[in-house]
A and B are shown apart, each in its own frame.
Chain A
Amino acid sequence: AQSVAQPEDQVNVAEGNPLTVKCTYSVSGNPYLFWYVQYPNRGLQFLLKYITGDNLVKGSYGFEAEFNKSQTSFHLKKPSALVSDSALYFCAVTGRGNTGKLIFGQGTTLQVKP
């Protein structure tokens, strides 16, 4: 069965510091991996995805994520956090290309303090 784990309910970072939001997954076959961000009372917005190729994927708002096959991880990173990055972040995975349903993690709240 496919699954996604976001081990941290909340991540706290000071503005200007690097941030990491963790995600691990379990799928059969090659994974398609996604990160979404949700601001209060809004829908989820696409940040970035990994399908194939370079393990380091760059996305919107200066975010990037690194695919690590051996550790089955896809951690979200940003070199310098902004207060405006404070939001809820979801990792998602499917293991069957464009025929597989997306499985979402539980979400991680990112709090960036000035």
Chain B
Amino acid sequence: ETGVTQTPRHLVMGMTNKKSLKCEQHLGHNAMYWYKQSAKKPLELMFVYNFKEQTENNSVPSRFSPECPNSSHLFLHLHTLQPEDSALYLCASSQGQGGYGYTFGSGTRLTVV
């Protein structure tokens, strides 16, 4: 375990469902991130939170809704997704932002049917 826990590990959902991904870290980090990784492999940064405040949204469709109730927890609420949203969703955390590196969770493998 890296100290960043993501649940569930796998999720299959229909296009009309609503589900949430959860990320939890107890490393004392103040920044948290959501990434999408499709089969073509590059990492796509979705959202950045610093001290619970969203500081970056990279033109992510509104069907993805993040929530950061405190510095230790991060959620990604999903609704009316499309099949092309199927991917590995990775959460990461860091102390400060870049200089100390990021700690990643194991990811949630999402399949939209």
Residues in A lying within 8 Å of B, measured CB to CB: 32, 34, 36, 41-46, 49, 51, 88, 90, 92, 94, 96-102, 104, 106-107, 109
Contact = CB atoms under 8 A, between A and B. Distances in A.
Interface string B72-94: 00000000000000001010101
A44 B104 contact: yes
B55 to A, nearest CB: 9
Given A43-B105, A43-B107, A44-B104, A100 B90 contact: no
Nearest to B90: A43
11 contacts: A32-B98, A34-B101, A43-B4, A46-B101, A97-B96, A97-B98, A98-B98, A99-B96, A99-B99, A102-B98, A106-B42
Contacts of B96: 97-99
B98 A101 contact: yes
Contacts of A32: 98-99
Nearest to A51: B99
A51 to B, nearest CB: 7
Nearest to A95: B98
A92 B56 CA distance: 18
Contacts of B99: 32, 51, 94, 96-100
B106 A43 contact: yes
A111 B79 CA distance: 38
Contact of B43 (A94, A96, A104): A104
Contacts of B88: 41
A44 B97 contact: no
A104 to B, nearest CB: 5
A42 B96 CA distance: 24
Nearest to A107: B41
